């Protein structure tokens, strides 16, 4: 007897049919769950391919990740009860479980254990003579442990309630010749918060991480500690001075994040300091010397550009002296120091950190997501979900993209509220989409025709229903904005230069109505492919820094469920079994929405093997394989058995029952 075959996922069907035409199958006899096999029945399973995935594709030395191999037959079903052997091409980097038996869902699991060396590993899975066509690629990271650290403060003395910049320089070796990789975490803390506070954490850039110390109202010596990893620690001391007759303090930096030069975003931040006397009154006419410390990308504070990183400014009647920071062509943190001289005593205050980021969305970092990917809009209108576009610049910064305008368009089947859609401070722009209308029917692809032919030949009641194709229920949504094509900034000057590699993109955002990845709109075979005309629909072979960038995503618009059996009755001989398929989907052969539940039972005798309970995730499956077996082979007595498949869909219970005999 065969054990339960698992599900057919819609998105895997094309993959399976291609493989069945070009690969070689191997016959495997599977375990029936009772210790026997299928040899006597003659129902040999043909293994066509093996898919292999990992929970994590990059891991630290010594870490583990789970590897899952799913075995498929040439019909697209998964194969339970077969032994899968696992192997890797770099045993010096890791070890892996030697073999495992596939579950009822056709999946076998193994554990990969990284060793101490870094490198790349390819993991393969094999059943008989069939090996996974695409191995899983795992990277063991080079996790250099921070070995030492230098910590400094600038300035080393501040007035009460003043600020200073703390810089931790983190080294990968004790000789202090190699900096740790960018992005290494550094934690900052106070030895005694009586004298002030410090921002808790930062990450390194060229080995340096910065934090801002803010002095309390108490004079004394404040100690700031920094830690990276388990070995690198350090500290620095700052003298907090009592209020003098005249004092300078940092007021504000507006905004605290600006865009790169010539990026089209806001490139200027206004930095303000205030000078007051001991009675808290503003001191006008005081000379304030400003100096800049930044990432050396030609940022400046002196508009005359004679001394770009230094300038002297007098306070106004309000005691305020301000300077304008202009961004350069390199990202990174910037701080401004303000110094006054009173009767030979120098006092300095430090601004908070101003971040220079890319300021322009990158096509490579543009993505989309939806709260729900399956809405039963063929059943009910005005069902809603949130759809979001995620933006970041070429450096991965998103905070500089606050207020970036994003537009959305969609196929019939959905409507979208696109009023005033802008990215927020996290680089996310979201809209509310609702079901409205019905997606247009499309000509079926070959995989859809193959799926329909399978259903037609497997289920005798197919003709009782009106069927479509899966893509008849697909509704494409497009989000687009102005941005730049990705490029490799090999000389780190923040600009694209001739010869640098870039990723060319199509100029016009369009709805991919026929899902072929190519615009074929007005006057062509798919006039429904709405597009936004920028004057060019092609790849122009030139790096573009100001163009439309966009993404397409698909929402399933589904309808009421169908439940079909491959046989309307069954007859199990004494000690024997019989098998059948059950189809659960909407009229377009699409899966049921998230939250739909399944339960299966056999009443009156007999035992059912297969998926007897499930909560659907909106992505599949649509087909299930069951075996009904005699649960009392010692007794030759005919029993009428009801085999029932029940679902709860949109809080509505639905079910279909067939009757048969178990002897």
The answer to whether residue 449 is domain-embedded is yes
> Please, which residues have CB within 8 angstroms of residue 357's CB and are 6 or more apart in sequence?
257, 258, 259, 260, 331, 393, 395, 397, 399, 400
pLDDT for position 519: 64
14: enclosing H helix or E strand:
helix 13-22
308 and 381 assigned to the same domain: no
The answer to whether residue 379 is domain-embedded is yes
Residue finishing a domain among 241, 271, 298:
241
pLDDT for position 536: 56
Cα of 403 vs its chain's centroid, Å: 22
Give whole-number Cα distances, 96 to 52, 139, 466, 555, in Å.
14, 14, 49, 38
To 5 degrees, how large is the angle CA 572–CA 574–CA 576? 55
Pairing type for strands 45-54 and 220-228 reads unpaired
459 and 425 assigned to the same domain: yes
Residue finishing a domain among 328, 356, 384:
356
The answer to whether residue 1 is domain-embedded is no
The answer to whether residue 324 is domain-embedded is yes
The CB density around residue 312, as the number of other CB atoms within 10 Å, is 13
84 in Cβ contact with 99 (< 8 Å): yes
479 and 385 assigned to the same domain: yes
Question: How many distinct structural domains can be found in the chain?
Answer: 5
Q: Per DSSP, which regions of 132-219 are E strands?
A: 136-140, 148-154, 157-159, 163-171, 185-190, 196-198, 201-203, 208-215
Strand, helix or coil for residue 363: helix
The answer to whether residue 367 is domain-embedded is yes
pLDDT for position 34: 39
> Of 47, 46, 84, which Cα lies nearest the Cα of 67?
84
For the whole model, what pTM was predicted?
Answer: 0.53
> Please, which residues have CB within 8 angstroms of residue 17's CB and are 6 or more apart in sequence?
76, 446, 447, 450
19: enclosing H helix or E strand:
helix 13-22
The CB density around residue 369, as the number of other CB atoms within 10 Å, is 14
**What is the domain range of residue 276?**
249-356
CATH of the domain at 192: 2.60.40.10
The answer to whether residue 509 is domain-embedded is yes
Structural tokens at position 406: 């994003």
pLDDT for position 145: 75
23 and 163 assigned to the same domain: no
Q: Where are the alpha helices (DSSP H) in 403-485?
A: 446-458
468 and 529 assigned to the same domain: yes
166 and 288 assigned to the same domain: no
641 in Cβ contact with 606 (< 8 Å): yes
**φ and ψ of 462, to 5 deg:** -55, -40
Round to whole Å and give the CA distance between 428 and 98: 44
- Supply the DSSP string of 301-344, one letter for each residue: S-TT-SSTTEEEEE--TTSEEEEEEEP-SS-EEEEEEEEEEETT
426 and 524 assigned to the same domain: yes
Instruction: Say if residue 61 is exposed, middle or buried (CB neighbours under 10 Å; 0-12, 13-18, 19+).
Output: middle
pLDDT for position 36: 39
602 in Cβ contact with 582 (< 8 Å): no
132 and 209 assigned to the same domain: no
483 in Cβ contact with 389 (< 8 Å): no
The answer to whether residue 5 is domain-embedded is no
Round to whole Å and give the CA distance between 325 and 133: 55
303 and 230 assigned to the same domain: no
> Of 230, 146, 238, which Cα lies nearest the Cα of 191?
238
To 5 degrees, how large is the angle CA 69–CA 75–CA 81? 45
> Please, which residues have CB within 8 angstroms of residue 101's CB and are 6 or more apart in sequence?
31, 81, 82, 83, 84, 108
> Please, which residues have CB within 8 angstroms of residue 46's CB and are 6 or more apart in sequence?
25, 26, 27, 28, 73, 74
Q: Considering just the CA atoms, what is the radius of gyration of the chain in Å?
A: 33
- Supply the DSSP string of 608-660, one letter for each residue: EES--EEE--SS---EEEEEEE-S-TT----EEEEEEEEEEETTEEEEEEEEE
pLDDT for position 1: 33
> Of 163, 167, 165, 157, which Cα lies nearest the Cα of 237?
157
Residue finishing a domain among 108, 140, 172:
140
316 and 190 assigned to the same domain: no
Structural tokens at position 415: 């409507």
pLDDT profile of the chain (663 residues), mean per 10: 34 35 48 40 72 84 93 93 96 95 96 87 95 87 77 89 92 90 85 89 88 89 87 91 78 89 84 89 89 88 84 92 92 90 85 83 92 96 96 81 87 85 89 94 92 94 88 92 83 74 77 69 52 62 83 94 96 94 97 97 91 95 96 88 96 96 92
Round to whole Å and give the CA distance between 372 and 436: 15
534 and 428 assigned to the same domain: yes
Strand, helix or coil for residue 430: strand
Pairing type for strands 45-54 and 407-410 reads unpaired
Round to whole Å and give the CA distance between 448 and 445: 5
468: enclosing H helix or E strand:
none
311 and 374 assigned to the same domain: no
The answer to whether residue 442 is domain-embedded is yes
């Amino acid at each position: 007897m065969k054990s339960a075959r698992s599900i057919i996922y819609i998105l895997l069907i094309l993959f399976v049919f291609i493989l069945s035409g070009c690969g070689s199958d191997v016959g495997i006899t599977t375990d029936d769950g009772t210790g026997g096999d299928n040899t006597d029945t003659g129902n040999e399973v043909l293994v066509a391919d093996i898919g292999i995935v990992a929970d994590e594709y990059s891991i630290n030395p010594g870490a583990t990740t789970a590897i899952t191999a799913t075995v498929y037959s040439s019909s697209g079903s998964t194969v339970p009860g077969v032994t899968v052997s696992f192997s890797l091409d770099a045993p010096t980097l890791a070890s892996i479980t030697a073999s495992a038996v596939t579950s009822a869902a056709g999946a076998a699991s193994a554990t990969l254990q990284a060793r101490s060396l870094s490198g790349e590993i390819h993991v393969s899975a094999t059943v008989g003579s069939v090996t996974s066509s695409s191995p899983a690629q795992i990277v063991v990271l080079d996790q250099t442990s921070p070995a030492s650290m230098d910590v400094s403060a600038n300035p080393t003395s501040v007035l009460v309630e003043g600020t200073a910049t703390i810089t931790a320089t983190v080294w990968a070796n004790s000789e202090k010749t190699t900096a740790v990789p960018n992005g290494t975490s550094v934690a900052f803390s106070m030895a005694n918060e009586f004298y002030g506070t410090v921002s808790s954490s930062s990450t390194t850039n060229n080995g340096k991480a910065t934090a801002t110390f803010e002095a309390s109202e108490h004079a004394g010596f404040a100690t700031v500690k920094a830690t990276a990893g388990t070995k690198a620690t350090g500290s620095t001391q700052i003298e907090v001075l009592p209020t003098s007759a005249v004092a300078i303090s940092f007021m504000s930096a507006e905004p605290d994040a600006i865009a790169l030069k010539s990026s089209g975003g806001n490139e200027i931040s206004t930095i303000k300091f205030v000078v007051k006397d001991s009675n808290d009154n503003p001191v006008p006419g005081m000379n304030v010397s400003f100096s800049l410390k930044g990432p050396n990308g030609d940022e400046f504070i002196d508009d005359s550009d004679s001394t770009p990183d230094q300038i002297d400014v007098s306070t106004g009647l309000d005691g305020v002296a301000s300077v304008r920071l202009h961004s350069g062509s390199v990202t990174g943190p910037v701080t401004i120091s303000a110094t006054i001289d009173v009767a030979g005593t120098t006092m300095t205050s430090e601004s908070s950190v101003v971040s220079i980021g890319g300021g322009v969305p990158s096509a490579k970092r543009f993505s989309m997501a939806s709260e729900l990917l399956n809405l039963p809009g063929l059943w009910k209108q005005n069902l809603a979900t949130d759809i979001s576009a995620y933006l970041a610049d070429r450096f991965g910064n998103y905070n500089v993209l606050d207020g970036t305008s994003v537009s959305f368009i969609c196929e019939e089947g959905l409507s979208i509220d696109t009023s005033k859609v802008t990215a927020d401070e996290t680089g996310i722009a979201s809209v509310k989409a609702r079901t409205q209308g019905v997606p247009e029917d499309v000509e079926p692809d070959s995989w859809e025709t193959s799926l329909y032919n399978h259903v037609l030949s497997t289920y005798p009641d197919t003709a009782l229903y009106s069927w479509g194709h899966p893509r008849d229920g697909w509704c494409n949504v497009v989000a687009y904005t102005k941005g730049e094509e990705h490029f490799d900034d090999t000389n780190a000057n923040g600009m694209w230069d001739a010869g640098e590699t870039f990723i060319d993109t199509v100029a016009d955002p369009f709805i991919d109505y026929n899902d072929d990845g190519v615009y074929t709109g007005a006057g062509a075979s798919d006039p429904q492919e709405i597009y936004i005309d920028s004057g060019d629909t092609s790849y122009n072979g030139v790096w573009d820094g100001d163009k439309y960038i966009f993404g397409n995503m698909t929402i399933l618009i589904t309808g009421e469920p169908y439940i079909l059996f491959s046989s309307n009755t069954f007859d199990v001989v004494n000690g024997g079994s019989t098998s059948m398929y059950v189809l659960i989907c909407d009229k377009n052969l699409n899966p049921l929405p998230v939250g739909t539940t399944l339960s299966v039972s056999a009443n009156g005798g007999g035992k059912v093997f297969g998926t007897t309970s499930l909560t659907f995730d909106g992505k599949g499956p649509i087909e299930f394989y069951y075996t009904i077996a005699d649960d009392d082979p010692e007794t030759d007595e005919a029993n009428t058995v009801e085999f029932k498949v029940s679902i709860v869909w949109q809080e509505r219970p639905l079910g279909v029952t067939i009757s048969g005999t178990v002897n």
